[in-house]
Amino acid sequence: MARKPRFYTATGDAGTTGLLGDLRVPKDHPQIEALGALDEASAALGVARSAVTHPELPALLRQVQQHLYHLMAEVAATPDQAETFRRIEAEQVAWLEDHIHRLAEQAPEIQGFILPGETLAAGLLSLARTIVRRAERRVAALMGLGLYRNPHGLRYLNRLSSLCFVLELVELQHAGRLPEHAHAGDMD
């Protein structure tokens, strides 16, 4: 008879957690904070993926979530393991840029601000964008501390927040709910 897996290890009961390599750090360590923000971003994108109505967005969001899992592995790696887990490169950043440009052509020009929540899916994409921004700040802090060295990972998160904004516009347009007076507020 197969034994059911345990869903806990109890190794973190003392307030530490393991990185990818031979190192344990406190659960409030900057790498763990960045991992948590990336995990939240992926979860938020997953919820948005389940709610979007535009037919091409679920597959796009699923691919982004897969990229985020690769980025999480990079962030979780110890310095001696960093290259082993590095997967986010210029190609993934360019992939996001291509989707931003292509989808932005579908979105209408906007004037004024968009308040999140015109539709559930658009609100979820806006929430995901803000969580991605937090993850970007956490990864930038890691870079400042020398704990993460892949500049493409930071660039990926910067483009991802812009993609979320464009996806929000595309989703609003698809739902026929784009406000008349909207403004592009997330284009850095």
Distance CA 170, CA 74 (A): 31
Indicate whether 1 belongs to any domain: no
Indicate whether 181 belongs to any domain: no
> What pLDDT score does 186 carry?
46
> What pLDDT score does 42 carry?
98
125 closest CA partner among 93, 95, 162, 174: 162
> What pLDDT score does 7 carry?
84
Indicate whether 2 belongs to any domain: no
> What pLDDT score does 182 carry?
53
Indicate whether 118 belongs to any domain: yes
> What pLDDT score does 183 carry?
45
Indicate whether 180 belongs to any domain: no
> What pLDDT score does 179 carry?
67
Owning domain of residue 161: 26-175
Indicate whether 78 belongs to any domain: yes
- For the chain (length 188 residues), average pLDDT per consecutive 10? 82 88 92 98 98 97 98 95 94 98 87 85 98 98 96 98 96 84 47
Q: How many domains does the chain have?
A: 1
Distance CA 56, CA 16 (A): 41
pTM of the model: 0.90
Q: What are phi and psi of 80, to 5 degrees?
A: -75, -15
Note whether 48 and 172 are within 8 A (CB).
no
Which CATH number covers residue 116?
1.20.1200.10
